[in-house]
Amino acid sequence: MNHTSYTVLTRDQIAERAAQDIPDGAYVNLGIGLPTKIAKYLPDDKDVFLHSENGLLAFGPPPAKGEEDPELINAGKEYVTMLDGGSFFHHGDSFAMMRGGHIDICVLGAFQVAANGDLANWSTGAPDAIPAVGGAMDLAVGAKKVFVMTNHTTKTGDPKIVSKLTYPVTGKNCVDRIYTDLCVIDVTDKGLAVTEMVDGLSFADLQALTGATLIDATNSK
């Protein structure tokens, strides 16, 4: 989408950017929805072990069209492939990995992220909303690092990054980094530090689209 002076990142571009920050050898859980796109953009020269709540470890990108296996899906019911050495296990064991602190990074979507790192990603309180938080709660608390991928605002222009959550909480003080279609933000003890912005976007414009105070850290890299 083009604006007067800047171009918003596509969903795939957000995923591609987030994939760059996943280190070699990491055990990573990709949340349902936008985060699953990261699997397509992990570089071949890195060994990244993808984990899914339904009991998969070391799965790869989506299969080519016509090569889908209906018994090989992730927790979001999307087709996946398995890498050499990949394994299958009971979802009880899968949750033990999550709750036991064995996942290095989880990447989740969000309805809202608060300035202190609180995350809301399972319900907006709407009557027809999904009735339970699911595995996101375990991931938000159990993973060593939590990355969030989301559009910067809702379709109606309301900020998703806010001073305090107004939606039901998934996890408190758990988010470490936020990737949006406009910027990358680190959640720090001092506040929300913007480390990258799309070309042509001013810090003042970004702040105006955000419901919490931001810190301009784009020159500190």
**Using CB atoms within 10 A of its CB, is residue 118 exposed (0-12), middle (13-18) or buried (19+)?**
buried
pTM of the full predicted structure? 0.93
Q: Per-residue pLDDT tens for 69-108? A: 999 999 888 999 999 999 999 999 999 999 999 999 999 9
Report, in angstroms and rounded to the nearest whole number, the Rg of the chain calculated over CA atoms: 17
DSSP 81: E
For residue range 136-148, what is the model confidence (pLDDT) as tens digits?
A: 889 999 999 999 9
Options 16, 53, 67, 71, the catalytic residue: 53
* Domains defined along the chain, listed by start: 11-216 (3.40.1080.10)
Distance CA 61, CA 41 (A): 9
Q: 73 has which bridge partners?
A: 79
- On average, the pLDDT of the chain sits at 93
The secondary structure element, H or E, covering residue 18 is: helix 11-19
Helix, strand or coil, per DSSP, at residue 202: coil
Per the CB < 8 A criterion, the answer to whether 80 and 62 are in contact is yes
Percent of the chain with pLDDT over 90: 81
Alpha-carbon distance 220 to 193, whole Å?
10
Would you state the pLDDT for residue 179? 98
Token pair recorded at residue 194 = 């913007």
Q: Would strands 191-197 and 214-216 be described as parallel, antiparallel, or unpaired?
A: parallel
Residue 53 is among the residues annotated as catalytic for this protein = yes
pLDDT value, residue 77: 87
